[in-house]
Amino acid sequence: MLLQAAALTREAFAPFGDVIQCTGSEHYPINAGTTERYHNLAKVDVSEAGGRPIISIFVAQPMPGNPVDLRLMERHPLASQAFMPLSASRFLAVVAPPGEFRVGKLQAFLVAAGQGINYAREVWHHPVLAIDVETRFLVVDREGPGHNCDEIELPAPVQVAF
């Protein structure tokens, strides 16, 4: 099965979470006009079962080739998880709706340089998929008690082209 990555837009990604970007966002000047605040771009949803928000950095090696081979999907029942590259790097996001995993429901997005994403709680997603170069991501997710990661191996080979 071959997925073609679509351009990432807020509208297309809305069922799966937030797109973190300046374009099209509410913004206003602060600090005597020297800074523009693009406000509240992602719903950090980590307080289930006594969770707390944390900030981490993921350093991801680029996936080889195009198309890229996918191996498994995961979901976080207790928390959203946001990824923002710390450089002008694009990456891939592969998602499926919450509930029972259905391979036929997979969707792939090419996240452009300058964009980030926040996977909503319970949304199936592939682990971070850097392409082109080693990529550092700022990640906002959860620490706390409880089981917060389900994994599922893909039942048949899936590739994503971009």
Binding site for a second copy (CB under 8 A): 20-22, 25, 30-32, 34-44, 46-47, 52-61, 63, 71, 82, 84-88, 114, 116, 118, 127-128, 130, 136, 138-140, 143
Least distance in angstroms from the C-beta of 9 to a second copy? 17
Interatomic CA distance for residues 5 and 99, integer angstroms: 22
3-state secondary structure of 154: strand
Q: Which is nearer to a second copy, 54 or 133 (CB)?
A: 54
| Nearer residue to a second copy within complex by CB, 36 or 150 | 36
Least spacing, CB of residue 75 vs a second copy, in Å: 14
> Strand 6-7 and strand 68-75: pairing?
unpaired
| DSSP 8-state class, residue 48 | G
Six-digit token string for 13: 């990604």
Q: Do residues 139 and 83 make contact, with C-beta atoms less than 8 angstroms apart? A: yes
Q: Which of residues 66 and 87 has its CB atom nearest to a second copy in the complex?
A: 87
**At closest approach, how far in Å is the CB of 97 from a second copy?**
22
> Closest by alpha carbon to 120, among 51, 43, 40?
43
Instruction: Name which of 33 and 104 has its Cβ closer to a second copy.
Output: 33
